Structure 1
């Protein structure tokens, strides 16, 4: 039985540089067929958080459907964290990390069918320097890649691939990280330090085999050097990393300091350079619509 009477539909018209006319029409048609009221909001990049917050308060939707990428989903997370309103994702960004982490279907028709179902999961949210992160943030060479990607003109996985070699060539790695975690302070040199709530980047590369979106923890993942074999393992979702190259530590909070400003990205958005990141978990959670965990193999913990 469908208890959805009203949907707030959030559209980022420029996400992924993809035309969304057909997808918007499919959502409208699906709502009309189910006799569900739909309120559509197009993001502009100006006061979107305030506008969406006002729309949620005014319209009191039963569900939010988002057509966009990780940045748009993160925007919704800031509005909806701690509420009982589920978010259904129609991924339309460049990498779509959250969609990959939630094991969403690849096909728009299947994604839309799922959007009206009642299988949901509650996920943890990272607090990084008082900024919300749902998925993965990192310091170092991947953040440099995200920065260069944002400066480029080609979007999608091809855009990332084209920026990989120039990023590796011009990077100032290794970086020095001073880490305070689990009542211990130590120093590591590496090419990348990640704060990972999930397992995979949106490109499909496995970063954090221990990742569960709702286990009340996150992982600090340190890539100590650019080891070609270990990089191939991440690209092929192989999880047996060499501990001499990749170090993974589960925790509920951490402080990471850098000797000099280091590039920092969060959920695929470049945040500039920073010398310190304070990491913890928000007390509030976030609700997502996901495939039936009995049928699909999830990237989250079914026991919580």
Structure 2
């Protein structure tokens, strides 16, 4: 028998995981058997539970990989304890956005994702952190964090809900002032990209590289309302580039200061900060992931 795999499954990810947990378990076990391995499957019960499950089980077996089954939030929770270790994370992307999986080119269906998991190889990528919170895909503040906060309060998940929330928020949201590395910046949004997209193929930093030891910092400046359609088109066609409204910087670290503690998002998860000083930095070559 080959080394076993530990699967951490979030039944609240995406739009249907919770409705088909038995099918998921049977499929995972069937693939493990096919590849002469075994699978231990654990379910999360609340936010941050995946991190605790990884910590509790990390040393209990000689795992081949610890696998996040869910979206970017689940990936984040599973990956946090693995930063700096040789143990790789596997990703079965069944969430709403799946930004990191899409950037890595992983399949988005259950069977194809499991086939890639059992046949793939581990590579090493960068991770990052905002204050003491690790992130692996993107983090930011401004409009994206505002939408993320509203989206988290919705009963229904999925792309259509996200678009609906974004559209309604667009007309009422007011740009904010941030002090980025000592320079006052009036911005619609401020994004720190390790991977290139938020999820759902919304590419905020098409040029981002998970292995270059740098963060791509995207500042979207206030713009006329009519420009929103063009901005959305560029975002979803991977054509966002520097312009009079969009600025990019490559940084290893950044300090953002605000007048009041901001709402941020990290890997799509909204979080209300309790400080007005936000430190963001890259951690090069710090996470192994199966691709």
Common fold, TM-score beyond 0.5? yes
Q: Pick the aligned partner of 1:218 from 215, 218, 236.
A: 215
CA displacement 1:47-90 (0-9 Å, x = unmatched): 54233212111113111222111111111111111122222211
Q: Pick the aligned partner of 2:55 from 42, 50, 53.
A: 53
- Report what 1:111 is aligned to: 113
- Report what 2:12 is aligned to: 14
In the TM superposition, residue 243 of structure 1 has moved relative to its aligned partner by 2.4
- Report what 2:25 is aligned to: 24
Q: Pick the aligned partner of 1:96 from 91, 95, 98.
A: 98
> Which residues of structure 2 form unaligned runs of 5+?
none
Distance of aligned partners of 1:99 and 1:48 in 2 relative to their CA distance in 1, 3 Å threshold: closer
- Report what 1:298 is aligned to: none
Q: Pick the aligned partner of 1:65 from 54, 67, 80.
A: 67
Runs of 4+ aligned structure 1 residues displaced above 3 Å come to: none
In the TM superposition, residue 108 of structure 1 has moved relative to its aligned partner by 2.1
Indicate the SS of the match to 2:208: coil
Indicate the SS of the match to 1:74: helix
- Report what 1:281 is aligned to: 282
Indicate the SS of the match to 1:93: coil
Distance of aligned partners of 1:7 and 1:196 in 2 relative to their CA distance in 1, 3 Å threshold: same
Distance of aligned partners of 1:275 and 1:169 in 2 relative to their CA distance in 1, 3 Å threshold: farther
Q: Determine the C-alpha separation between the residues in 1 that align with 2:172 and 2:153.
A: 15
In the TM superposition, residue 219 of structure 1 has moved relative to its aligned partner by 1.5
- Report what 1:301 is aligned to: none
- CA-based RMSD: 1.8
Distance of aligned partners of 1:277 and 1:4 in 2 relative to their CA distance in 1, 3 Å threshold: farther
CA displacement 1:216-267 (0-9 Å, x = unmatched): 110111000243323321122114x242111000011110112334321110
Bigger mean CA deviation after superposition, 22-31 or 277-286: 277-286
- Report what 1:163 is aligned to: 165
Q: Determine the C-alpha separation between the residues in 2 that align with 1:283 and 1:242.
A: 25
Q: What TM-score results when the alignment is normalised by the length of structure 2?
A: 0.91
Bigger mean CA deviation after superposition, 267-276 or 241-250: 267-276
> Which residues of structure 1 form unaligned runs of 5+?
291-304
In the TM superposition, residue 209 of structure 1 has moved relative to its aligned partner by 2.4
Indicate the SS of the match to 2:167: helix
Conserved? CA contact 1:117–1:289, under 8 Å: no
Indicate the SS of the match to 2:206: coil
In the TM superposition, residue 287 of structure 1 has moved relative to its aligned partner by 1.0
